[in-house]
């Protein structure tokens, strides 16, 4: 079980992109006919924005529990500079393509209710872990943003990754290489931030 993050996630009205995300999730919530509360866990760049307010994506990676399949829908919006943008749900997203801890859903952090949807966001540590399998340039940038917000440290990330690896299957050699690079990236990003904060 991960410790509670040092800060709470931003609500889905704190940026134009997140406002559009809320509208998009409301469309999905309106499709739920059963008298149930359906959990959904947001990942990817949208999760990074929920934690840091930094806009790093154009789509939403999210996992709906149960057998719910999201409706194809695009929501237009104006960004902070007044430019026309749009957001949609990546219906091909699946967390099974990444090495994830078995408790990532239980440790996801509640954001808010939207109709019958109980919206959660990946814990920052699991969010970083989800990016290590691919570990491309935008993943490094996203991790740097989370470190800069004080949400990730190398020690906790390594412990979580080691636990996730014990339950993982398949060829994990590339993941382990990426993990070592990610741990170095987190340590260096954290050190750089500390130096900037203490610069006279």
Instruction: Determine the pLDDT at residue 98.
Output: 93
Query: Is 4 part of any domain?
Result: no
The tokens for 77 are 């919006």
Query: Is 104 part of any domain?
Result: yes
Domain range for 54:
16-197
Query: Is 84 part of any domain?
Result: yes
Instruction: Give dist(CA 189, CA 43) in Å, integer.
Output: 22
User: What would the pLDDT profile of 69-126 be if each residue is shown by its tens digit?
Assistant: 999 999 999 999 999 999 999 999 999 989 999 999 999 999 999 999 999 999 999 9
Instruction: Determine the pLDDT at residue 124.
Output: 97
End-to-end CA distance of the chain: 39
| Inter-residue contact 96 to 38 (CB < 8 Å) | no
Query: Is 9 part of any domain?
Result: no
Per cent of the chain over pLDDT 70 is 94
Total number of domains constituting the chain: 1
User: Does an H or E element contain 199, and which?
Assistant: none
Per cent of the chain over pLDDT 90 is 84
Query: Is 140 part of any domain?
Result: yes
The tokens for 112 are 């808010």
Query: Is 41 part of any domain?
Result: yes
Query: Is 2 part of any domain?
Result: no
Instruction: Determine the pLDDT at residue 91.
Output: 93
Locate the DSSP E strands across the chain: 38-43, 59-64, 74-78, 84-89, 109-114, 117-121
Who wins on pLDDT, 188 or 102? Answer: 102
Strands 117-121 and 59-64: unpaired
User: Does an H or E element contain 174, and which?
Assistant: helix 173-197
pLDDT range class, residue 191, cuts 50, 70, 90: low
Q: What is the mean pLDDT of the chain?
A: 92
Query: Is 153 part of any domain?
Result: yes
pTM of this prediction?
0.92
User: What would the pLDDT profile of 13-41 be if each residue is shown by its tens digit?
Assistant: 999 999 999 999 999 999 998 888 999 99
Instruction: Give dist(CA 140, CA 143) in Å, integer.
Output: 5
Long-range contacts at 175-179 (CB < 8 A, ≥ 24 apart): 175/99, 175/132, 175/133, 178/132, 178/133, 178/135, 179/132
């Amino acid at each position: 079980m991960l410790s509670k993050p040092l800060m709470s996630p931003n609500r889905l009205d704190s940026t134009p992109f997140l406002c559009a995300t809320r509208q998009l999730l409301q469309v999905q919530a309106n499709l739920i006919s059963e008298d149930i509360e359906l959990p959904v866990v947001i990942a990817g760049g949208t999760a990074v924005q929920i934690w840091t307010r930094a806009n790093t994506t154009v789509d939403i990676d999210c996992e709906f529990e149960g057998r719910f399949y999201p409706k194809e829908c695009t929501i237009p919006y104006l960004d902070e500079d007044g430019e026309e943008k749009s957001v949609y749900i990546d219906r091909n997203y699946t967390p099974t393509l990444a090495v994830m801890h078995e408790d990532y859903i239980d440790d996801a952090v509640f954001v808010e209710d939207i109709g019958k949807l109980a919206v959660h966001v990946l814990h920052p540590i699991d969010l970083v872990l989800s990016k290590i399998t691919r570990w491309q340039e935008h993943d490094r940038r996203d991790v740097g943003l989370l470190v800069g917000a004080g949400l990730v440290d190398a020690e906790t990330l390594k412990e979580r990754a080691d636990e996730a690896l014990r339950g993982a299957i398949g060829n994990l050699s590339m993941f382990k290489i990426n993990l070592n690079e990610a741990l170095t990236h987190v340590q260096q990003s954290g050190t750089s931030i500390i130096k900037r904060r203490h610069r006279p």
